[in-house]
Chain A
């Protein structure tokens, strides 16, 4: 039945060590996991232990949730998804679709949701799921986009939060090298991007998560300080000077590494300035709100968090 049946398992090469017989009822109870290791014949205690380990859910949940949800989403979008997926499947095969979904759709759809470019139904769902993700409640200035989305969505309080955002933030901050975009290629961060509301928002989002975890009420002041530090860093960088040591140390910590300061500060200042900010890293030019610099923030759709990754193309015809 199994193609690998011809290959000898490791155990077959060992000489048999005699163990006491096992009556069928006890065997079934061992398989059901309803027996304690003290209640089985000697020789089977380790078996009970091994099976318990095999049956235990490691607390380490593989963070491919956003990718799976994107797959789900594409399978349930009423109008355009089925055709797009069938074409893609033919071209790439299921595995490649999954990979593409990991790479782009999770981030892209969250981004599209953030900019309000999804169809209404999808927008509502995306807000719903994005609102359900963060388990730490960020507070203060930097969290404005996140909290406004939570309010606009179907309500995070309806459901238990999906855990692990703080851990992902930590991993994101401690990653070595690379621009944020490179890190986001790892599937691990699709979920983080979804929670943050876009790939470009992870750094400020994680800062607010960390701040709200350690200083529940004090993150707003911290955000101002960091944007000041970022301005000073950018000015020094522009002039080719070395930034002040205190600024550098602070931003290195906040960004998770010296080489992450540049994208981090771009994100922080973008957030700080809101929708009228300069965007050297380019929002999509077809963005519907590109010409609305004075629109008030936080009116249900998120104005300030233009993603640095463009939204996936809308399928046509």
Chain B
């Protein structure tokens, strides 16, 4: 979250200030990618690029605060992910999941980053293995940091339904983890 400066960055980005746009991108893109790895694992990075392309196009028309911006970006992301999944169903290919590709050049602490990235990947894979409707709301709640009402608007469900789905997702996760650790 950017916080108090968000409005300024948004206005500057709308005026074409690349630095301001980079701030928005850097703040939100990691969460966007993690969300897409849950709902569209095979095409997460491509889909993220499409999302930002659409955000660039629509930036002038967007009105709202930071929460609204996040909601909008994840709404776009969800639609693009559904498109990607449809396309994959129409023309089945077997793309290599990103976690099977070699990592990109590492940051300053490659070992730490690798452990961290591994934990994140495993966590995302666990969420992705939930039934899709549960995976989606859990990812939007936890990764995108949106509340039940915002998630409801994005997925077209009532907040109560979102809560039920998310709670079922947590239960399912707990069951699966208990199964795995043999408790």
Contacts and interface: CB of A to CB of B under 8 A. Distances in A.
Nearest to B82: A2
B107, B112, B143, B183 pick with most chain A CB within 10 angstroms: B107
Nearest to B83: A3
A31 B170 contact: yes
B21 interface: yes
Given A9-B130, A59-B113, A65-B22, A19 B174 contact: yes
Nearest to A53: B123
Contact of B86 (A3, A50, A63): A3
A234 interface: no
Say what secondary structure dominates the interface of chain A. Answer: helix
User: How many B residues touch the partner, as a band?
Assistant: 35 or more
A188 B104 contact: yes
B165 to A, nearest CB: 11
Interface of B: 13, 16-19, 21-22, 25-26, 29-31, 33-34, 38-39, 45-46, 49-50, 52-53, 56-57, 59, 82, 85-86, 88-89, 103-109, 112-113, 116-117, 119-120, 122-124, 126-133, 135-136, 138-139, 141-143, 145, 148, 163, 166-167, 170-179, 181, 183
22 contacts: A3-B82, A5-B133, A9-B130, A17-B176, A17-B183, A19-B178, A27-B163, A27-B166, A50-B177, A53-B120, A54-B143, A59-B109, A60-B117, A65-B26, A77-B16, A95-B49, A98-B49, A126-B18, A128-B19, A164-B107, A167-B108, A168-B105
Interface of A: 1-5, 9-12, 14-19, 22, 24, 27-28, 30-33, 43-44, 46-47, 50-65, 67-69, 71-78, 94-95, 97-98, 121, 125-126, 128-129, 132, 159, 162-164, 166-168, 170-172, 188
